[in-house]
A = this chain, B = another copy of it.
Amino acid sequence: MLPKIGQYQFKAEAFRCNMLGYLPYQQMGNYMLDAADLHANERDFGMTYLMPRHLAWVLSRFSLEMTDMPRPAQPFTIETWVESTLKLFTSRNFRVTSGDKILGYGRSVWAMINTQSRQPANILAVRDGEMNYWVDTDTPCPIAPPAKFRFGGNEQKIRTIQTLFSDADINGHINSMRYIEHILNLFEPDWHREHYIKRIDMSYMAESHCGDLLHLYLDQTADAIGVRVSKSTTADGEETDVCRCRIVY
């Protein structure tokens, strides 16, 4: 049997690093999704197994806390494991290391849906609850659970973005890490130069599709930034919340 923890090697390709010389959060997030996908597929509860059964994993929460980010050409390792599995949600954690150094940790929460009805599916019904076998409660993930920014209704619309072909990924909808990129783009290079982002918490509520308009609303408290993203099909159309983000810097 495979170990409960999957370990995957990556390298920060130079031209995926940002102008400040390190891998940005959305790129690290995509490597983590990739690690999650490989870990699940190798253990037969990934998309390869689920797709023909009209089931799919849907990312619900994603929290990432990085004390440092890989620099150009720096190799790094992502370890990932399942922390818990309930009927409707499963938690998957991540640890990012480079050599002996821990760069950061991630937490994610996933739901399963039936791709035909778009309704939640019972995770424990897959192979008679076999996913329970993979649960690892021993490996620590020493960062706080997923958190939310408390929006008080004072958030201001900062930008409307039309989603385009390259915003969508293999799932056919806007890539969940692309929202992080759009959110970090709300800030000028000078802001990024002066602030290192310690942690990002994403809550995903709905999917958006190529052609949708995304509306980004921003609020700020003394210790965090909140960004709410909604979608509409026309600029004056009804908006539906897509995701919410908390940034701690």
**Chain A residues engaging chain B, CB cutoff 8 angstroms:** 13-19, 21, 24, 26, 30-31, 33-34, 37-38, 72-73, 164-166, 168-172, 175, 177, 181, 184-185, 187-189, 192, 210-211
Contact B187 A165 (CB under 8 A): yes
List residues of chain B with CB within 8 A of the CB of A15.
30, 33-34, 37, 169-170, 175, 177
Contact check: which of B33, B34, B184 meets A165 at CB < 8 Å? B184
CA distance A14 to B166 in the complex (A): 14
CA distance A30 to B184 in the complex (A): 21
Contact check: which of B18, B31, B169, B210 meets A169 at CB < 8 Å? B18
List residues of chain B with CB within 8 A of the CB of A181.
166
Q: Quick one: closest B residue to A31, CB to CB?
A: B13
Contact B33 A170 (CB under 8 A): no
List residues of chain B with CB within 8 A of the CB of A211.
188
CA distance A172 to B190 in the complex (A): 12
What's the minimum C-beta distance from A210 to chain B, rounded to whole angstroms?
A: 5
Q: Looking at A15, A169, A177, A211, which has the most chain B CB atoms within 10 Å of its CB?
A: A15
Other 5 A-B pairs with CB < 8 A, given A19-B171, A72-B170, A165-B188:
A15-B169, A15-B170, A18-B169, A26-B166, A165-B185
Contact A172 B19 (CB under 8 A): yes
Contact B164 A185 (CB under 8 A): yes
Please judge, given known A-B contacts A13-B31, A37-B14, A172-B19, whether A189 and B166 are in contact too, CB under 8 Å.
no
CA distance A10 to B18 in the complex (A): 20
Q: Quick one: closest B residue to A72, CB to CB?
A: B170
Contact A18 B185 (CB under 8 A): no
What's the minimum C-beta distance from A142 to chain B, rounded to whole angstroms?
A: 26
List residues of chain B with CB within 8 A of the CB of A172.
19
What's the minimum C-beta distance from A57 to chain B, rounded to whole angstroms?
A: 12
CA distance A16 to B177 in the complex (A): 11
14 sample A-B contacts, Cβ–Cβ < 8 Å, listed by A number: A13-B31, A14-B34, A14-B37, A15-B37, A18-B165, A18-B170, A19-B168, A19-B169, A21-B170, A24-B166, A38-B73, A165-B185, A166-B181, A166-B185
